Amino acid sequence: MLNIRCFIGLFIPENVKQDIVKIQNIISQLPVVCKMVEYENLHINLSFLGEVGEGHVGSIASKLENICSKYNKFEIEVGGIKFIPNEKYIRVIVLDVLDPSNKLKALSSKITQKIGGDSKPPHITLCRVKYVKEKDKFLDNIRKLKSELTHKFNVNSISLIKSELTKGGPIYTIVKECQLGGGLHE
- Residue (of 43, 73, 50, 49) closest to 63 by Cα position: 49
Residue 134 neighbours by CB under 8 Å, 6+ apart: 31
- Given the residues 56, 123, 151, 185, select the one marked as catalytic: 123
> Which strands form 43-53's sheet, in the order they lie side by side?
43-53, 3-11, 157-164, 171-179
Beta strands 90-98 and 123-132 are antiparallel
43 assigned to active site: yes
How far CA 49 is from CA of 70, 107, 123, in Å, comes to: 21, 16, 17
What is the rounded (10 degree) CA torsion for 70, 180, 11, 91?
-20
Neighbours of 14 (CB within 10 A): 8
Residues marked active site are found at 43, 123
